[in-house]
Amino acid sequence: MGLSEDPDLQPVLFGLFLCMYLVTVLGNLLIILAVSSDSHLHSPMYFFLSNLSWSDICSISTTVPKMLMNIQTHSRAISYVGCLTQMSTFTIFVCMDYMILTVMAYDRFVAICHPLHYLVMMNPRLCGFLILVSFLFSRLDSQLVILMILKITNFKSVEISNFFCDPSQLLNLSCSDNFSNNIVQYILGAFYGLFPISGIFFSYYKIVSSILRIPSSGGRYKAFSTCGSHLAVVGLFLGTGFGVYFESAASHSPRKGSVASVVYTVVTPMLNPFIYSLRNRGIKGALRRLHSMTV
């Protein structure tokens, strides 16, 4: 159903979302290019950052291009297979974002709490393994959601009050066996929601405890500044995600939920490159060196 049925608003929405999409893709590509081209950034923290940028590009590319095509063709229809594919890929990369943010919290924990063993503990093999496990868990989450959707028999010629195939709305289309679907949703929510956020909170509890033991204020500021960008992205991601969830639960308005979902599906991936480029000296230095090489 899109975000608005007003025909006069469609060109505005097209231009706005096209600009946001291009900024997101170009910004995250710059992060990936800066990390891969600068030897100073060949460290675990920036390896995870480049994977986060790649995941952001993929997640926004599953929703916005289809929305732009719908506006241009004046058709909001999507095929059964297309809807399942969009929902599957969207679930994978949104979950991947969450998992990578958790892994990055662990990386900061090791860097601050065990600095002498950092390079040994966060070796390239472990970093690659953590990214692989993050992808496999995200893939598992997507497959479980797909299996629940495939159990729904009345999944033809329905209206979805959003600009993409939102899994939460599709799971509510079933007229039977809602109890088992709800149980599986609660289990997935507990596993994929509770455990990662617990890992993030525990990592930062240990980080803050270690920082407070540093005698000099300059040392405390330097240690905490390495976590600033990550904390900002985690706050933005979790804050918007939980905000959308509680807003939809409180208002019971699908239209409000679709507008609010723009924040975590489009705005958050767009802001991540700005947060890391503005707050991270390594990224700013790499971008300057990259610019000097192209001029």
* Highest-confidence segment of 4-8, 186-190, 202-206, 256-260: 202-206
In a domain, 273, yes or no: yes
In a domain, 207, yes or no: yes
- How many Å apart are CA 34 and CA 288, to the nearest integer? 9
CA 150 to chain centroid, in Å, comes to: 25
Boundaries of domain holding 249: 7-294
In a domain, 288, yes or no: yes
> What's 51's domain CATH number?
1.20.1070.10
Half-sphere exposure in the Cβ direction for 19 (13 Å, CA): 6
Mean of the per-residue pLDDT values of the chain: 82
In a domain, 2, yes or no: no
Predicted pLDDT of residue 160: 82
Confidence of residue 184 (pLDDT cuts 50, 70, 90): low
How many domains, the chain? 1
In a domain, 101, yes or no: yes
| pLDDT 10s digits, 211-246 | 888 787 777 777 777 777 788 888 877 777 666 655
Q: What angle do CA 232, 229, 20 make, to 5 degrees?
A: 70
In a domain, 75, yes or no: yes
Predicted pLDDT of residue 247: 58
| pLDDT 10s digits, 123-142 | 999 999 999 999 999 999 88
